[in-house]
Amino acid sequence: MHAVEAFELVLGLLVLVIGLHWLALKLRWPPATALLVGGGALAFVPGLPQISLDPELALVLFLPPLLMDGAYYTALGRFRRHLPGILSLAVGAVVFTTLVVGVVVHWIIPELPWAACFALGAIVSPPDAVSARAVLKGVHLPRRLEALLEGESLLNDATGLILFRFAVAATLSGVFHTGEAIQSFAVVAIGGAMVGAAVAAGWIFLARRFRDPMLIMLITILLCWAAYLAGEAAHVSGVIATVTAGLAMGWYQHVILPGAVRLRANSAWQIMVFVLEALVFILIGFSLRGALERIGGIGAIPMSMITVIVAVVVTVTLARFVWIFGSEAILGLARSLGLKRARPLGWRQATVLSWAGMRGVVTLAVPLTLPVDMPGRDLMLICAFAVIFVTVVAQGSSLGALIRAVRPVDTDPPAKMAMPAAEAAMARARLAVIEELAYAPDGTLIHPQMLEEHRKRMRFMEQYEKDASAAMDNLRPHFDVLLKAIAAGREELIRIHREGLIEDEVLHELERDLDVEELAMTLQRGDEDRD
């Protein structure tokens, strides 16, 4: 394909992303479902170019930034608090699903080596970070459930990839040592965390010393690939390295990054992640065509393979239910025996957690890296696509309805301070500084307007802390007037620019000030969601 044609194809895919995303919003589907189905359908349209997704490129290009995005916005306190449950899902559930799928496949196809069966299990076992985040964006979950799903999606890819490599090596060599595998697993995981921490330390060092905002933004965006590639180069888990670096950046960015840099970097990051997420699902759909052509088309799939595909899809789904509800039973028993730290989720949260097992980019890319002489390679490819389609389309589309039906209850204790109390604490800290600096050393008041403004704000915050709803109802008309005044100022600014009275530079600078002021008013008025 010519370079210009490749560029035109990328532009076409972006236009397709816009169209399918808009359609998903109209139909109230998860965008991931529309993108996956749309990409899969268009792949078979005559005349369209065939798109082949290089597996190594897919993992390096898509996985690090999408993992970093999840880690960056992960609540680290909740992550640490729920780490045992997260590891149970990210390690225990993945290993369990791998074993169960391997046993089922070997039972149906006895001639397929055990190691190859487990390799297939490792391919389809880890729920995908990209898919989970894409589907869960539009639903509201209890905090504990949200923490478990977010944490699981960050770490389980590492487990699946490590198990896959062990299984492939065992299949090709015919040798497998359990003790060595467990030791290697620990080394790869711990090594990945150490590499990620080292890369994050390098980012902190550079971000503190750079003064150019663009340089700070660039090293911040590049951190995900730096951590992943460093981990892979050190022959440890690039996934864990990326997640560790992302958690560290999310924790330290509040004290490292200037406010203006953080706002601009977050905006650039969000649009990049949006495009990458969308392209992942479209390319997964497009890749189905190539996989089917390699085995001779849909008509060439034997009935025996269809039986295995159905069995794998059902097993993957049921294995997650068995693991989660089995864990619930153990936690319930421990609780009844007096272990207070054992806190079962309850059947409502457990049901939602069991159904939220969407697969995605890792399940797609990993089987494409299989050697040509790998036993059952074609079967693994088709099973991987089937699991992705069924989990994303069926589970992803119905997850919102399931949540509304079972209504999971938030069992986590609320934080000691709600938002009104936190905002009041910030206002008191600001007022204390203003009251100190508003006076000259000789006691003369030099900033009377500033002092009065902050005292007035503090009086409002005291009311807001007592009754947030009533305080905001009284304040919104005030913001309405201010927003109308800003709109009038913007209209006048545009008028004098159109008449040639000011230069473009003046227009842009004053418009930026109005935009910042408008955003602040809009957020305070409550028109935008707060994280």
374-377, Cβ contacts within 8 angstroms, sequence gap of 24 or more: 374/116, 374/119, 374/168, 374/171, 374/172, 375/112, 375/113, 375/116, 375/171, 376/109, 376/112, 376/116, 376/117, 376/120
- Mean pLDDT across 483-487: 89
Token pair listed for 502: 């000011």
pLDDT 10s digits, 55-64: 778 788 888 9
- Mean pLDDT across 248-274: 85
Does residue 60 lie within any of the structural domains? no
pLDDT 10s digits, 464-482: 888 888 877 777 787 888 8
Place of tokens 């965006």: 221
Does residue 127 lie within any of the structural domains? yes
pLDDT of residue 515: 86
Q: How many Cα atoms are found within 13 Å in the side-chain-facing hemisphere of 284?
A: 35
How many residues are given for the chain? 531
Residue 292 pLDDT exceeds 90: no
Q: Which of 445, 466, 487 is the last residue of a domain?
A: 466
Same domain, 346 and 444: no
Residue 415 pLDDT exceeds 80: no
pLDDT of residue 530: 40
Q: Which of 360, 388, 406 is the last residue of a domain?
A: 406
pLDDT 10s digits, 214-241: 899 899 999 999 999 999 999 998 989 9
Higher-scoring residue by pLDDT: 192, 466: 192
Q: How many domains does the chain have?
A: 3
379: closest CA among 106, 70, 95, 24? Answer: 106
Does residue 202 lie within any of the structural domains? no
- Give me the amino acid identity at 252: Y
Cα 409 to chain centroid, rounded: 23
What's the whole-number average pLDDT of the chain? 84
pLDDT of residue 223: 94
Same domain, 9 and 142: yes
Does residue 300 lie within any of the structural domains? yes
pLDDT of residue 144: 85
Residue 178 pLDDT exceeds 50: yes
CA gap 446, 443 in Å, rounded: 9
Same domain, 326 and 455: no
Q: What CATH number is associated with residue 386?
A: 1.20.1530.20
- Mean pLDDT across 100-121: 92
pLDDT of residue 524: 72
- Mean pLDDT across 90-101: 93
- Mean pLDDT across 141-146: 83
- Mean pLDDT across 314-325: 95
Same domain, 315 and 170: yes
Does residue 387 lie within any of the structural domains? yes
Same domain, 275 and 399: yes
pLDDT of residue 531: 40
Residue 521 pLDDT exceeds 90: no
pLDDT of residue 496: 92
Residue 155 pLDDT exceeds 90: no
**Percent of the chain, pLDDT > 90?**
22
Segment holding 149, helix H or strand E: helix 143-173
Does residue 221 lie within any of the structural domains? no
Same domain, 391 and 497: no
Where do runs of H (alpha helix) occur along 174-211? 178-209
Does residue 157 lie within any of the structural domains? yes
Same domain, 370 and 438: no
pLDDT of residue 107: 94
Under a CB-based contact definition with an 8 Å cutoff, are residues 403 and 141 in contact? yes
Domain that holds residue 455: 415-466
Same domain, 286 and 166: yes
Residue 132 pLDDT exceeds 70: no
Does residue 200 lie within any of the structural domains? no
Residue 359 pLDDT exceeds 80: yes
Same domain, 302 and 383: yes
Residue 79 pLDDT exceeds 90: no
Same domain, 160 and 300: yes
Q: Which of 354, 372, 406 is the last residue of a domain?
A: 406
Same domain, 348 and 491: no
Same domain, 369 and 493: no
